[in-house]
Structure formats: structure tokens, C-alpha cells
């Protein structure tokens, strides 16, 4: 399988134009990195990451995962994470999950639901099989022959999902199609917080969105994301404020207000606790790192 992984890594490099590259193949993103970058704030979506080379550690609240060469990782819920690329070069292909595509495949298979249900967590990882690497390889290499994308991309994506259903990722993939499970309610709550993070929120409000009691929501939400719902909201606020400070002329007070903080002092205190420096100093540090990066 070593040769297969080398081929997949080479295909990722051929079609990458930055750290994260969207592609002409629907639901395919390529990730390619050769040089050091500081730990990076990301918003994970429901997705599967197929790692061809290197390794990456992701932290979400009290949860963490390290995924290396030859591994695949399924995340089933939107959530803020901090990613550290630990081994370089790093190459991966990311499949963004579409619940309708997955549900249609399960209907076509017409098989019974698996009797082995996943635990309460929203993530699972496992080594790729040669068959999965081969299918992902063919999916990414469609970018070499763009005329083949229309006729073949959906078919190869279906093959990848079919093979994943028989893998350790299968039970969690099945769960993604259940409309009224506890996991589905947590996903709905997480999506709602992502859409309303700048607003004043209470646990009671979020529990009502999820159709859960506050105690049940807290237990299931933390198992899936590593955070309580309000801590999840705070991470979203701080990530967006950091992005605004880094990318524009926004002041700390303006960023605090934009993401929903009523107190600039509280914002600065929580920002420093999260990133190690006050907002303005952290933004300057990030710009300095970018300016000194190779090829900058």
C-alpha cells in the first residue's frame, strides 16, 4: 500500500494551490503543506480525511486526535478545532459528507441497520484498506482528466462510501442518516450555534433547539465535541474575532462587539487565555509569522 499512498500524495500535490484547495470534483478538498505553520484554528464540518503523508493533531475542547499517513478520520459534527501539523510534508484528500448522497446509497443497498452502534462521540479513525486508498486515488486523479469528472465523480464517491460502510467508520456513517437520533439532535444544535454564535445564548435555548433536556444536551454535546454548548459558542466567537483581527484593520473592541461580547475587557481576558497574548499582540505575531514564512 506504500506505493498507493505515494501516488495519492503526488496527485494531491499536482492539484493543490495552497494549504487548502477546493477542486472541480464535487465535495473534494485537497490539503498540502511543506513548511511549518503555527497551530491553526479551523471549523470542522462533517467530513472524512484520507491522509496520504505526514500527520496532523486536532484538538477540540477536551478531545484530541492524531491522524497520520495511511489513516482516515471521520468527523460527524460542525465544531471549532485547533490543528497542528506535526509531520511534514502533509498531504490529504477530504471528502465533505452529503447526507442525501449517503442516504441514497443506503436505500440502494437496502441492507439492515448495523446492530453495532457507535459510542456517543462524533469522531472515529482507522487505517485505510488498499481498496479504499485505490478508490480515493482514482477519485483525486479525475482532476488529471477533467472531462471524466462529470461521468465518473459521483460513481467513485459512491464506491468510496460503500467501502467505508464496511469499515470501522461504518456505524457512525449509518448514524449520520438517522433523522431523530441523539447524535442528529446534537448536530442540529451545533449547526444552530454556528449560525447564531454572536447572539446571547442560553443552555435552555440550545436545548430547545435540540429537543433535549439541558442535562442530556450537555452530556451528549460534550461527548461529540469535547465542549459544553456555551464553551463551543465561546470558541467560535474567539476564532472569528482572531480571523478579523488578522485579516483587517479591526480593533480589539470592534472585533469583540462583532462577535457578540458586551465587555471588551472580558473579551481580551478570554482571548489571552485562549491564545497566550492580548488580541492586538497576537494579530501582530500572526502577521509576522506569515511575512517570514518560506515563499512569502
Domains of the chain: 2-175 (2.60.120.280), 182-292 (1.10.10.60)
pLDDT band at 268; cut points 50, 70, 90: very high
- What pLDDT sits at residue 112? 47
Each residue of 232-241: pLDDT tens digit? 999 999 999 9
- Mean pLDDT within 148-174: 96
Each residue of 53-71: pLDDT tens digit? 999 999 999 999 999 999 9
Q: Does position 296 have pLDDT exceeding 50, yes or no?
A: no
Mean pLDDT taken over the chain: 92
Q: Exposed, middle or buried: residue 264 (CB in 10 Å: 0-12, 13-18, 19+)?
A: middle
Q: Does position 293 have pLDDT exceeding 60, yes or no?
A: no
Strands (E), 69-209: 71-75, 79-96, 123-127
Cα separation, 51 vs 128, in Å, equals 9
**pTM of the predicted model over 0.85:** yes
Which has more pLDDT, 19 or 75?
Answer: 75
- What pLDDT sits at residue 1? 87
Q: Does position 114 have pLDDT exceeding 60, yes or no?
A: no
Amino acid at each position: 500500500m506504500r506505493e498507493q499512498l505515494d501516488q495519492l500524495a503526488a496527485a494531491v500535490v499536482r492539484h493543490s494551490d495552497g494549504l487548502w484547495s477546493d477542486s472541480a470534483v464535487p465535495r473534494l478538498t485537497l490539503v498540502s503543506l511543506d513548511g511549518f505553520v503555527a497551530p491553526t484554528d479551523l471549523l470542522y464540518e462533517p467530513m472524512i480525511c484520507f491522509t496520504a503523508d505526514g500527520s496532523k493533531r486536532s484538538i477540540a475542547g477536551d478531545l484530541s486526535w492524531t491522524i497520520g499517513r495511511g489513516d482516515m478520520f471521520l468527523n460527524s459534527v460542525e465544531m471549532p478545532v485547533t490543528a497542528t501539523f506535526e509531520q511534514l510534508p502533509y498531504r490529504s484528500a477530504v471528502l465533505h459528507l452529503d447526507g442525501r448522497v449517503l442516504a441514497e446509497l443506503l436505500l440502494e443497498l437496502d441492507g439492515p441497520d448495523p446492530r453495532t452502534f457507535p459510542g456517543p462521540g462524533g469522531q472515529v479513525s482507522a487505517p485505510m484498506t488498499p481498496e479504499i486508498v485505490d478508490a480515493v486515488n482514482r477519485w483525486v486523479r479525475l482532476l488529471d482528466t477533467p472531462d471524466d469528472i462529470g461521468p465518473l465523480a459521483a460513481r467513485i464517491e459512491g464506491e468510496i462510501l460503500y467501502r467505508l460502510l464496511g469499515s470501522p467508520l461504518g456505524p457512525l456513517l449509518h448514524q449520520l442518516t438517522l433523522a431523530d437520533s441523539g447524535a442528529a439532535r446534537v448536530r442540529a444544535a451545533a449547526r444552530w450555534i454556528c449560525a447564531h454564535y454572536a447572539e446571547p445564548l442560553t443552555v435552555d435555548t440550545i436545548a430547545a433547539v435540540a429537543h433535549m433536556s439541558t442535562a442530556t444536551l450537555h452530556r451528549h454535546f460534550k461527548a461529540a465535541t469535547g465542549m459544553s454548548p456555551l464553551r463551543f459558542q465561546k470558541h467560535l466567537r474567539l476564532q472569528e474575532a482572531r480571523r478579523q483581527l488578522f485579516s483587517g484593520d479591526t480593533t480589539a473592541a470592534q472585533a469583540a462587539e462583532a462577535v457578540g461580547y458586551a465587555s471588551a475587557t472580558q473579551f481580551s481576558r478570554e482571548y489571552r487565555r485562549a491564545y497566550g497574548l492580548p488580541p492586538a499582540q497576537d494579530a501582530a505575531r500572526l502577521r509576522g509569522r506569515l511575512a517570514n514564512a518560506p515563499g512569502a
